[in-house]
Structures are given as structure tokens and as C-alpha cells.
């Protein structure tokens, strides 16, 4: 498994998540499942960064994530990326090629982003397609290419070749803050609403309804804390609530 840990460590500095698992009829019974995580514009300092609470105490940024990925993985001190830019790096991951060979050399335009991806062979010959041929089920979660869907246009309905399951941000926005987007789920949801003649704003409304439980929990936690309810900064915040608690098992233990 050293090759897999090395691969994950290489990609950590470059948000998509690819979940790969062999189907039941795969020839090799020992085929491993694996997850690839790729993030954009991730400063290396974040892996050792801290944040300061209201009392001036320093805390590790994302301690659980760092504990699972950084501390149990491999961190390189010498490395190189051939094209440290969003869409070209994503295309390189999926094609195994340099940007000038994959054809995706920019964030947008005909030679960049989603349009560049569709205009080149990587659209139909890529990592996900190859894994399907090898007997794997593939899933994509998160961001795909820049301009996969437009800010002022309908959400993107196309699901690229190679993906069995598709949970992808379908409204492009280069300054995503983790909210205000529409998901394309296997080519459906926002796309279906649009085909039925509903405006995209209704899709955002349905998304808001699904978040009601989480928002209610946040409000309850804030109101029952010692300090008054805060305004959460969407660009600079970290969870500082009660620690993780163990859930009871099914047998009641």
C-alpha cells in the first residue's frame, strides 16, 4: 500500500474526491478500494497551521483531518508540480499527461476549464474510464473543472464519461465559500428542475431545506454556549464546540 499513500501525499497539495471500489464481479478478489483527494490553492503552511481562539490559545487547524491524513501519511520535502493551476492540474491527474499534452492549459476558454476538457481526448480517455474497464465502480464528489456550469447560466447537466456516481458542483464560481451552489447528482436534481421549467433559484431553495437540521443544531449549540451567539465568518472559521462523543452501539452497549 506504500504506492497508494505516496499517491495521496502527492495530490494533497494540489476540491475533488474520487471514491473507487471494485464491483462484485471484478476478476481480482483482492482489488483494493481507494480514495483520492485533490484540493486547490492549498498553502503548505496549512498542514502545520494553527488558529487562535478568543482566549488567545493556539489550536491545530483541522486536527482530525491532520491526524488521519498528514500524521498517518507521507509528507514530501522535495516535490514538483508541472502546472500549479486548477484546471490543468485536475486534467493532469485524470489523464496522466502534462498540460500541453492533455490540452487543458488554462482555467477557462476553449483550451481551459470545462470547455478545454470537453475539446480534448481526456474527456473520453481518463482515469475514471480506465478504472471502470478494470472492473471498478467510480464516484466523484465536489468540484470538477472551472466553468462546469456558469454563474449566470443554468447548472451543468452533463456527466462526463467514466463516473458511476456523480455528486458535483454544477454552478461555477471561482470564489466558492462552501454555500450558494447547486449540485448535479447523477445528472439530476437541478437539471431535472430546469427541464420541468422551474427556475434554478428553486433548486437552491430545496438545497436550503435539506440543511435545516444542520442549521438548527448550530443555532442550538450557539445559544446554549457560555458566550452569546456569534456571526460565523464563512472564510475564516473552525469548529470549536464540544469534543466528539462516542455513539451507542446497536446492542445498547
Q: Can you give the pLDDT at residue 148?
A: 86
pLDDT digits (tens, 9 = 90+) for 166-218: 888 887 654 455 555 677 888 875 545 555 566 656 655 665 555 566 667 76
Give the pTM: 0.62
Residue 153 is assigned to a structural domain of this protein: yes
Annotate 166-182 with b (16+ C-beta within 10 A) or e (fewer): bbbbbbbeeeeeeeebb
3-class secondary-structure state, position 133: helix
Kindly state the cell numbers that stand for 110: 476553449
Q: Can you give the pLDDT at residue 70?
A: 82
pLDDT confidence bin for 21, thresholds 50/70/90 = low
What is the percentage of the chain residues whose pLDDT exceeds 70? 60
Element (H, E) at 63: helix 63-65
pLDDT digits (tens, 9 = 90+) for 30-48: 788 888 888 777 777 777 8
Taken as a whole, the chain contains a residue count of 253
CA angle 221–168–157, rounded 5-degree value: 135
pLDDT confidence bin for 103, thresholds 50/70/90 = very high
Q: Can you give the pLDDT at residue 97?
A: 94
Mean predicted lDDT score pLDDT of the chain: 75
Give the DSSP letter string of 141-159.
EE--STTSS-TTSPPP---
Residue 147 is assigned to a structural domain of this protein: yes
pLDDT digits (tens, 9 = 90+) for 209-220: 555 666 677 677
Domain count for the chain: 1
Distance CA 85, CA 163 (A): 24
Q: Is the C-alpha dihedral spanning 17, 167, 40, 108 positive or negative?
A: positive
Residue 125 is assigned to a structural domain of this protein: yes
Q: Does residue 27 carry a pLDDT above 60?
A: no
How many other C-beta atoms can be found within 10 angstroms of the C-beta atom of residue 137?
A: 17
Residue 246 is assigned to a structural domain of this protein: no
Residue 144 is assigned to a structural domain of this protein: yes
Residue 27 is assigned to a structural domain of this protein: yes
Q: Can you give the pLDDT at residue 26?
A: 47
Residue 61 is assigned to a structural domain of this protein: yes
Residue 236 is assigned to a structural domain of this protein: no
Tell me which residue range forms the domain holding 156. 2-202
Chain centre to alpha carbon of residue 215: 21
Amino acid at each position: 500500500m506504500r504506492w497508494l499513500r505516496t499517491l495521496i501525499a502527492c495530490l494533497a497539495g494540489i476540491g475533488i474526491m474520487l471514491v473507487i471500489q471494485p464491483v462484485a464481479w471484478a476478476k481480482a478478489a483482492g482489488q483494493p478500494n481507494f480514495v483520492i483527494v485533490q484540493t486547490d490553492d492549498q498553502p503548505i503552511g496549512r498542514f502545520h497551521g494553527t488558529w487562535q481562539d478568543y482566549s488567545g490559545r493556539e489550536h491545530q487547524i483541522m486536527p482530525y483531518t491532520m491526524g488521519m491524513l498528514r500524521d498517518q501519511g507521507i509528507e514530501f520535502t522535495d516535490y514538483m508540480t508541472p502546472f500549479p493551476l486548477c484546471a490543468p492540474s485536475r486534467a493532469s491527474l485524470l489523464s496522466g499527461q502534462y498540460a500541453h499534452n492533455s490540452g487543458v492549459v488554462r482555467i477557462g476558454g476553449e483550451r481551459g476549464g470545462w470547455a478545454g476538457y470537453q475539446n480534448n481526448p481526456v474527456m473520453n480517455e481518463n482515469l475514471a474510464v480506465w478504472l471502470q474497464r478494470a472492473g471498478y465502480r467510480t464516484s466523484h464528489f465536489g468540484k470538477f473543472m472551472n466553468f462546469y456550469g456558469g454563474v449566470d447560466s443554468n447548472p451543468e447537466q452533463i456527466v462526463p464519461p467514466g463516473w458511476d456516481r456523480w455528486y458535483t458542483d454544477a454552478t461555477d464560481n471561482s470564489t466558492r465559500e462552501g454555500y450558494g451552489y447547486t449540485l448535479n447528482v447523477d445528472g439530476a436534481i437541478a437539471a431535472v428542475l430546469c427541464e420541468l421549467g422551474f427556475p434554478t433559484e428553486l433548486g437552491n431553495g430545496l438545497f436550503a431545506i435539506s440543511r435545516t437540521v444542520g442549521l438548527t443544531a448550530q443555532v442550538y449549540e450557539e445559544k446554549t454556549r457560555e458566550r452569546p451567539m456569534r456571526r460565523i465568518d464563512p472564510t475564516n472559521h473552525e469548529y470549536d464546540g464540544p469534543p466528539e462523543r462516542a455513539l451507542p452501539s446497536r446492542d445498547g452497549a
